[in-house]
Amino acid sequence: MMLYYNLKNKKERVTFREAVTRGLSSDMGLYMPEEIPSPGHDFFRSLPEMSLPQIAFSIGGMYLGDEIPGPVLEKICSESFNFPIELKKIGPGKSVLELFHGPTAAFKDFGARFMSRCLGYFTTGDDRKTVVLVATSGDTGGAVADSFAGVEGVDVIILYPSGRISPLQENQLTTHGGNITALEITGTFDDCQAMVREVFTRLDTRDKIRLTSANSINVARLIPQSFYYYYAVSRCENREPVLSVPSGNFGNLAAAVMAWRSGLQVKHFIASTNVNRVVPEYIRTGEYHPAPTVMTIANAMDVGNPGNFARLMQLFDNEYVNIASKISGYWFDDDRIRNHIRDEHQRSGYILDPHGAVASLGLESYIRDHPGTEGILAATAHPAKFSEVVEPIIGEKLSVPSSLNRFLLGKKLSVPMKSGYHYLREYLTERYHLQ
């Protein structure tokens, strides 16, 4: 059976069930699988013919062991990944992996849908209410809300930074009602993330509720984010492409590195960010300095202190030379991002969203430094999700996928809250009678 260790106290080992239902350890440590299992030659040989749910079932099975019975896991995989993913070549050496065809039009759907179903399986029969707390920089909250809306026995509480997410993103969080609550925090994403983390270490729920987190700090979100890299690399003309991942909290890149460590052929990784550049700077200089969050047009990556950096480092045995030889970092300001959306549209007709544009710029920069390279960039959101940014740049109206339309009409319901742990504590104590 695969066990998961706490990155802050490596002697503490828990099952997948415990790692998923707790989210974080009591000392705020992240859980990591104790080994990165390899699926073996037969898997890689049949990979080009496998569908995403089949890949998910094989890889997921390695990480979950027998904690979820095979037929249940199979159903979780086919239900979670019931939407297409696409790899499109848009220029020399450049393919786009479109990860935004899920119900909330961002790649967060992969992790949220898989996690919600695992959690549902583990909590069935528990008479306590499950409360899922999640801090969002824009897209996580929507994906988590969508996958838990109407699920009995589960409340979802989303913290989002007021005024720092797009109107459509806000609608996705605030219009569900029912078991979904949106807390509108006067602060940044890092403030929201800190509040959630403090609740986990400090709040005594007296066993009245089962509290868990749906951030990418939860391993059940991390693991499924590796599945699509197996799919993409096996469909790429080049046998060993480079991968450019637009990064904020660095869960998506950590998941890609896990896939590589399990035996997937990836030549090199590119950590592409907006001006929140703590990781590219670390890769360049060897010095790690978390910084206050800066707002950008690629807002889901506005993270100054990435939660998954510790996992990323662990995957490289915490050695700077290891990470710096496998990952290159590039960062771009809003002007570069805007210009690139316009240029790519003129060149190939392809419409990038601001996050995909960051990945595309990262890949182009790397190709410029290493001519002849072929790569895949992860397009993490549908451009229509950021139409107020993209439409003026390309001078065209974007058609909104039908899955997004349903969010445009709802009424905004949010609970305003100041930034700070004790406000959240008060709210939870009152709502769930924790005294």
Ligand X SMILES: *Cc1c(COP(=O)(O)O)cnc(C)c1O
The footprint of ligand X (CB under 6 A) covers 106, 108, 138-139, 216, 246-252, 300-301, 355, 380-381
Burial (CB count within 10 angstroms: exposed 0-12, middle 13-18, buried 19+), residue 349: exposed
**Mutual angle of helices 167-174 and 140-148, in 10-degree steps:** 30
Contact 405, 129 (CB under 8 A): no
> Shortest CA distance to 266 belongs to which of 256, 275, 276?
256
47 or 258, CB closer to ligand X? 258
Least gap, CB of 371 to ligand X (angstroms): 27
166 or 179, CB closer to ligand X? 166
53 or 251, CB closer to ligand X? 251
Task: Using the Cα atoms of residue 358, residue 51, residue 218 and residue 124 in order, give the sign of their dihedral.
Answer: positive
- Classify 213 as helix, strand or coil: strand
Least gap, CB of 115 to ligand X (angstroms): 13
Least gap, CB of 247 to ligand X (angstroms): 4
What is residue 409's DSSP assignment?
S
Compute CA 385 distance to the chain's CA centroid, rounded to the nearest angstrom.
Answer: 16
171 or 380, CB closer to ligand X? 380
Least gap, CB of 390 to ligand X (angstroms): 13
Task: Using the Cα atoms of residue 27, residue 416, residue 431 and residue 408 in order, give the sign of their dihedral.
Answer: negative
Q: What's the CA gap between 358 and 360, in Å, rounded? A: 5
- Give the other-Cβ count within 10 Å of 164's Cβ: 20
112 or 209, CB closer to ligand X? 112
Q: Which residues of 69-102 are buried (b: 16+ CB within 10 A; e: fewer)?
A: eeeebbbbbeebbeeebebeebeebbbbbbbbeb
What is residue 300's DSSP assignment?
G
The single residue listed with the structure tokens 């696409």 is 86
Q: What's the CA gap between 358 and 363, in Å, rounded? A: 9
Least gap, CB of 224 to ligand X (angstroms): 12
- Classify 40 as helix, strand or coil: coil
47 or 297, CB closer to ligand X? 297
93 or 142, CB closer to ligand X? 142
192 or 381, CB closer to ligand X? 381
